[in-house]
């Protein structure tokens, strides 16, 4: 099976790429805007800026993945508020590029979203819960979901609640590292 992962420098993309790389029956192409800071032993890596429609179409058309797992996004909630244009470009326009490329080769798309599409006032929630984002990050991720849902693709959307851990190069923070740093200070 051929799988392409976007956002291979992010925490989820990195961990997923390293896990899939161990399975010799999977032909993985990990992608990111910049070179990855870890080694894949059985897989390929390609530079991919998903906000570039031509580059996205070229990489997906050349690799012809059976499945695209889209983990890349602008996830810093505060940054999404201050850079709304960049947020929309990363979380919605890029999804449009990926959907268009996947439709051309009929790839299955797994789109990673977030519980931030809800207001957090009640739970647990199921697939039928009505979204009500309270910030721009949540609005952008919900709009990205709508792009996927309205596509001609076979798709799945995974809504994460809290992604935490440590990347190999420690270039990104997350809630656990933030708490640890603040407690230490």
Cis, peptide link before residue 70, omega less than 30° from 0: no
Residues 101 and 151 sit within 8 Å (Cβ to Cβ):
no
Q: Which residue has the tokens 């956002």?
A: 7
The answer to whether the peptide bond before residue 144 is cis (omega within 30 degrees of 0) is no
Phi, psi of 33 (to 5 degrees): -65, -30
Q: What SS3 class is residue 22?
A: coil
Q: How many residues does the chain have?
A: 185
**Any catalytic annotation for residue 38?**
no
Which candidate, 50, 70, 71, places its Cα nearest to that of 59? 50
Catalytic residue among 88, 116, 136, 137: 137
Catalytic residues: 137
């Amino acid at each position: 099976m051929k799988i392409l992962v976007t956002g291979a420098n992010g925490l989820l993309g990195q961990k997923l790429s390293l896990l899939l790389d161990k399975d010799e029956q999977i032909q993985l192409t990990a992608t990111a805007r910049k070179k990855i800071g870890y080694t894949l032993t059985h897989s390929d890596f390609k530079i991919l800026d998903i906000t570039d429609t031509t580059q996205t179409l070229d990489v997906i058309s050349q690799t012809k993945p059976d499945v695209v797992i889209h983990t890349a996004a602008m996830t810093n909630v505060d940054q999404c508020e201050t850079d709304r244009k960049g947020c929309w470009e990363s979380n919605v326009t890029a999804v449009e590029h990926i959907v268009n490329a996947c439709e051309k080769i009929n790839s299955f798309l797994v789109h990673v979203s977030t519980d931030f599409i809800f207001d957090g006032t009640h739970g647990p929630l199921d697939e039928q819960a009505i979204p009500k984002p309270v910030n721009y990050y949540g609005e952008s991720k919900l709009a990205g979901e709508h792009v996927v849902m309205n596509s001609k693709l076979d798709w799945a959307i995974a809504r994460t609640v809290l992604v935490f851990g440590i990347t190999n190069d420690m270039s990104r923070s997350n809630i656990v590292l933030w708490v640890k740093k603040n407690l230490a200070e």
